[in-house]
Amino acid sequence: MSEQTSREIISTVTSEGDITISIAKVAIPTPSENEVLIKVEAAPINPSDLALLTTFAADLDSLTVSGSGDDTVASMKVRPALMKAMTPRLDQPMQAGNEGSGVIVDAGASVKHMIGKTVGVAGGAMYSQYRCVPASSCLVMDDSTTPAEAASSFVNPLTALAFVETMKMENHTAMVNTAAASNLGQMLVKICKDDGVPLVNIVRKAEQVEVLKNLGAEYVVNTSDANFTKDLVAALIATGATLAFDATGGGNEGKLPGQILAAMEVAANATAKEYSRYGSDTYKQVYIYGGLDQSPTILNRSFGMQWGLGGWLLTPMIGRIGMEKFGQMRARVASEIKTTFASHYTQEISFLDMLQPETIRSYVKQATGEKFLVNPHK
């Protein structure tokens, strides 16, 4: 291989209270016996990437850009109230990008047979031109699959599949999902349709209703409609859903998780045979798995005493699922990457594009239906 250096995106929070995003040049690593070297050709910007890339403490009003070419640096201030939370990472340049895809161009002695394969990987530091990872961490794709098609093969697909596994493990029979027109939400619609799992989808725009209906979703409710609560209760009665996954955390002016719990309580009482001052006996659970809306989560206690609200994260859930089931999930993703788990991107961008103010503001906004794909070699 003629190239000797690799470019990568670096995020740093300085002790002076600045967040900088820049391009670094590093030596291309040589894979050890069980490692492969990937020429990364596609890596998505997921909401989870922003926690490291820009942090959730960034003051975007202070965003500036200096330099040019590979010396370009985007800078923004840390909000003073959140500076203390940044202490563990101060003055440490950190590589970004949770997942991506590319072609294996070199490999250690034990895995030479993988050279030339297109793989997906969630190895961290995927906003890099070249990435060296253990061969076992790679999800090998069909020869007809492109890196762009395989770029989002971990975070969203495995999260959607893990929702279904959570439902089964916690003895629920149907689910609710918010921000349901996202790439992840569309995957979940297709999974539930194929697997016969009743699903209630919550969106906030009429056009998003149409997107999901066209995918075969049966129950789609719109928070912008005047009849939202009535429609939600009707869908919950029809499906029996008592488990919800919320990507917003503070959606609908912070009320959405509480509105879901309240609607579940109404649905449960619709078939109750007697009154209880403590509410229904039906246990209701909402998991917050994202922070698309940074507003406070507001609960108006109108859903009895049998309920739970908590956080949900893919990594510990994989530990609960076990490696055998996790392996089956990965295999399903690879075989259905162009169908069930197909991702859609609004724009392909370069490293330099990532550092431009208008692009940063766009991907930090995390708008449903807008997703950026980074091409490190563009």
Which residue, of 284, 304, 319, is where some domain finishes?
A: 319
Residue 326, in any domain of the structure:
no
Identify the CATH number of the domain in which residue 208 sits.
Answer: 3.40.50.720
In a domain, 211, yes or no: yes
**8 A C-beta contact, residue 194 and residue 216:** no
In a domain, 338, yes or no: no
* Domain boundaries, position 351: 5-152+344-374
pLDDT band at 1 (very low <50, low <70, confident <90, very high): low
* β-pair partners for 128: 8
Q: Which DSSP letter does residue 142 get? A: P
Is residue 129 included in any domain, yes or no?
yes
- C-alpha 325/C-alpha 131 separation (Å) is 27
pLDDT digits 0-9 by tens, 22-80: 999 999 999 999 999 999 999 999 999 999 999 989 999 999 999 999 999 999 999 99
Which of the four pLDDT bands, split at 50, 70 and 90, describes residue 321? very high
Residues 144 and 163 in one domain: no
Q: The domain spanning residue 94 has which CATH number?
A: 3.90.180.10
Distance of alpha carbon 72 from alpha carbon 351, whole angstroms: 10
In a shared domain, residues 114 and 13: yes
Please check whether residues 166 and 285 belong to one and the same domain.
yes
17 and 28: one domain?
yes
Is residue 325 situated within a structural domain?
Answer: no
Domain count for the chain = 2
Residue 97 included in any domain: yes
Specify whether 76 is located in the same domain as 139.
yes
Is residue 247 domain-shared with residue 274, that is, in the same domain?
yes
State which of 319, 334, 363 marks the end of a domain: 319
Residues 237-265 have pLDDT tens digits of 999 999 999 998 877 888 999 999 999 99
Say if 339 falls within a structural domain. no
Last residue of a domain, one of 272, 303, 319: 319
Q: Tens digit of pLDDT for each residue in 281-290?
A: 999 999 999 8
Does 309 lie in the same domain as 161? yes
Same domain, 209 and 75: no
Coil, helix or strand for 11?
strand
Of the pLDDT bands very low, low, confident and very high (cuts 50, 70, 90), residue 2 is low
| Inside any domain, residue 327 | no
Query: Are 307 and 177 members of one domain?
Result: yes
What DSSP assignment string belongs to 14-54?
-TTSEEEEEEEEEEPPPP-TTEEEEEEEEEE--HHHHHHHT
CA pair distance 328, 101, nearest whole angstrom: 20
| Helix boundaries (H) for the chain | 47-53, 147-150, 155-169, 183-195, 206-214, 228-239, 256-269, 314-321, 323-335, 351-354, 357-365
For residue 160, the number of C-alpha atoms closer than 13 Å in the C-beta half-sphere is 31
- State pLDDT tens for residues 325-374: 999 999 999 999 999 999 999 999 999 999 999 999 999 988 877 899 99
Give yes or no: residues 129 and 9 share one domain: yes
Same domain? For 279 and 212 the reply is yes
Determine the average pLDDT of the residues in 257-284.
91
Same domain? For 122 and 147 the reply is yes
